Amino acid sequence: MKPIKSRKNKERITRTVCTIIVALGAFIIMIPTFWMLVTSVKQKDNTQTMPPEWLPRESARVEVDGKNYFLYDVNIDGEIKRLAAIRLNPEKSEFRDPDDFSHVYYAPSQQAKKVRIVKFHWENYRKIWKESLTPFSTFMKNTMKYSSLAVIGEVVSCALIGYGFARLRAPGKDFLFYLVLATMMLPWAVTMIPNYVLFTNHIPNIINKIFNVKINLTDSWLPLIIPKFFGSPYLIFLVRQFVMSIPKDYDEAAVLDGASYFKIWAHVIMPMSKPVLVSIAILSFMYHWNDYMGPMIYLNSNSKQPISVGLANYQLMYGGTPYNLLMAGSVLSIIPLVVIFFFLNRYFTQGIVISGVKG
Amino acid sequence: MQKKKFRMSKTAKREARWFYIFISPWLIGFLVFTLYPMAASAFYSFHNYNIVNMDYIGLSNYMELFSDQIFLKSLVVTGTYVIVSVPLTIIAALLVAVLLNQKIPFVSFWRTLYYLPSIISGVASALLWRWIFNGKFGILNNVLAIFGIVGPDWFNSEKWAMPAYWIISLWGIGGSMVIYLAALQGVPTALYEAAEMDGATSIQKFFKITIPMISPVLLYTLITNMISSFQVFTMIYVISGGLGGPNYSTMVYVLYLFKNAFQWTRFGYASAIAWILFLIISVLTVLMIKAISKKVYYVESGN
């Protein structure tokens, strides 16, 4: 047996080492996010500098009579003055006092130092929000619409389906549940093409034959939203796991009272399942907010696109050089996710945990 | 599990009817949006199909795949990505989870920070990484320069473009990390105490207790990460401008599938590509479960 004191010491050292490693890792992992924020408030000319500026620092300017001049700190007879540079010359540069422009100073350029200030160009956000070819406000609205409809569809359908699998007994149930699990593993790439043909071709044809109505599902949101009302295997699984953990006494009491299964679902099970419903709503929202391939396949017009496609197209259009605007757009695009994350942190991880630990 | 009764009582029939009513959305969705598409995609794969015309060509699409240099390259590129990034992210996520499972100060703050990048996914993160890996002005190469390393022009280099994506995959370890953390907290402390009595070292405890106890979730994350890595798309599509360049070095599997289907409207050929992917993933999943599940330790669950 080791003496207790040295063991405690050892534990303390381990803990300190762990904390240092964790903090270091967290620092590194936050650098990209920090860099995105910093770039988003820089001036365009200041994004591509060597070495990179870790703060949105830029050369200070002053405007006099409609003209822009760089500001310099100039050493004039041992006294540092902040002056506007008119002409730079190694031996005799001309400076003027920005407050009293007639006041001229001369000094060798060695004695002058460019003034650097930290300036946040919040107007980058305004620019991308309003002034790009298709304003980002349109993309955001589209994404919000798409995500919320998809969330409603998935939450309602999965709540029904998950309850069925968790509580009700029926022949063939086990087999069907294995199918749910199997489709969880199914690569979406396999069903992507036939689903596209189904929505753009077969469904309009069938509807045309039966009802004699012409509908057009190309460049429409419907093919992206309709399937969401038929449940998603992973979320069904989460709801089922949660409902199974609710004690059966609750619904049995309701059955004795003669309540229908639908009533039990609505009045007993659903109120108790709020945590898992919030969890699946978040997972669904995150997925659809970031969804890129679906909208890219089904939508053509720029004004209908979600933020993911809008951002990517913006980059293609401008060659990816206005990094400050691109980063401002990226920040805007993740704000809703970050807000949800900080308010509903608990539910965020809960869903993932249910699936992994009990799976 | 109850034994099946030959005749169902009235209430049992009613319950069964309601079961099918409750799950009917899934059943319909499964038939229309999963089962039918799978059959249809198998059917397309034997045809020359571009939505307008459909000609039966037998196995020609599959034969063509074997001599399609870009397809073969995409297999290698994607396979390498899976082989590198899946173990890399699992090990990193496990390492972080173990560290965050120690009694360290501000632990929930650290957990939030490590999870945060996982919510920044999709196009926004693609643009960010393109900017960070920029050969000249990117911060990565500038940080490397501090240590005297001249970084490559990542995404414009045939050799370094894929390794850049391997590195990027590390950023999204949050999801797996959270699962491991929950699993680690479920390991009974009595096991560690008993091992300490016997004089086990930390490393022995980790490999003899921790790993076996969390092996079910390791298997789960291994399979789900493998499946999603095989289908890596958005990041590479956005960064390479949909080209998979330079010189097809980042032409990943689903990107090639996508281009065949939606740019060149070769739906039959693309369906063959999709089915090959399905077969690869199915075989690998079954093999993994078979190979590992013998070693996976399942705890008798309380409920």
pLDDT band at A252 (very low <50, low <70, confident <90, very high): confident
For testing contact with chain A, the best of B109, B128, B129 (most A CBs within 10 A): B128
Instruction: Kindly tell me if the per-residue pLDDT of A3 is higher than 80.
Output: no
Tell me the pLDDT band of A320, cut-offs 50, 70 and 90.
Answer: low
- pLDDT digits over B260-277, tens only? 999 999 999 999 999 999
Share of chain A above pLDDT 90, in %: 39
DSSP H helices in chain B: 10-30, 36-44, 60-67, 69-100, 107-119, 123-132, 139-146, 161-169, 174-185, 189-197, 202-205, 211-213, 215-230, 234-239, 253-258, 267-293
> Which residues in chain B are closer than 8 Å to A309, comparing Cβ atoms?
123
A23 reaches B (C-beta below 8 A): yes
User: What is the structure's pLDDT at B1?
Assistant: 46
pLDDT tens digit sequence for B176-203 = 898 898 888 888 888 888 988 888 888 8
Q: Model confidence at A81, in pLDDT bands (50, 70, 90)? A: confident
Interface of A with B in 231-250 (CB under 8 A): 231, 236, 244-245
Rounded to an integer, the average pLDDT of B60-66 is 92
- The percent of residues above 70 in pLDDT, for chain A, comes to 95
How do residues A16-58 score in pLDDT, each as one tens digit?
Answer: 888 999 999 999 989 999 999 998 988 887 777 777 788 888 8
Ranges A103-112, A244-253, B11-20, B69-78, most confident: B69-78
The ipTM value here is 0.87
pLDDT in tens, A144-177: 999 999 999 999 999 999 999 999 999 999 999 9
Orientation of helix A173-184 relative to helix B10-30, angle to 10°: 20
Mean pLDDT in chain A? Answer: 87
Gap from A61 CA to chain B (nearest CA, Å): 24
| Contact by Cβ (8 Å): B268, B57 | yes
Confidence category of residue B301, pLDDT binned at 50, 70, 90: very low
Residue B54 — φ and ψ, nearest 5°? -140, 115
Query: What is the nearest CA distance from B159 to chain A, expressed in angstroms?
Result: 22
Is B303 a residue whose pLDDT tops 50? no
pLDDT digits (tens, 9 = 90+) for B104-157: 888 888 988 898 888 887 899 999 999 899 888 888 998 898 898 888 989 999
SS (H, E, C) chain A: CCCHHHHHHHHHHHHHHHHHHHHHHHHHHHHHHHHHHHHHCCCHHHCCCCCCCCCCEEECEEEECCEEEEEEEEEECCEEEEEEEEECCCCCEEEECCCCCCCEEEECHHHEEECEEECCCCHHHHHHHHHCCCCHHHHHHHHHHHHHHHHHHHHHHHHHHHHHHHHCCCCCHHHHHHHHHHHHCCCHHHHHHHHHHHHHHHHHHHHHHHHCCCCCCCCCCHHHHHHHHHCCHHHHHHHHHHHHCCCCHHHHHHHHCCCCHHHHHHHHHHHHCHHHHHHHHHHHHHHHHHCCHHHHHHCCCHHHCCHHHHHHHHHHHCCCCCHHHHHHHHHHHHHHHHHHHHHCHHHHHHHHHHHHHHC
Verify whether the Cβ–Cβ distance A338 to B230 is below 8 Å: no
Q: Is any Cβ of chain A less than 8 angstroms from the Cβ of B12?
A: yes
From B19, B175, B274, residue closest to A190, measured CB to CB: B274
Q: Among A102-111, B104-113, B154-163, which is the least confidently predicted range?
A: A102-111
The whole-chain average pLDDT of chain B stands at 89
CA atoms within 13 A on the CB side of B130: 26
Condensed to tens digits (0 to 9), the pLDDT of residues B19-48 reads: 999 999 999 999 999 999 999 999 999 999
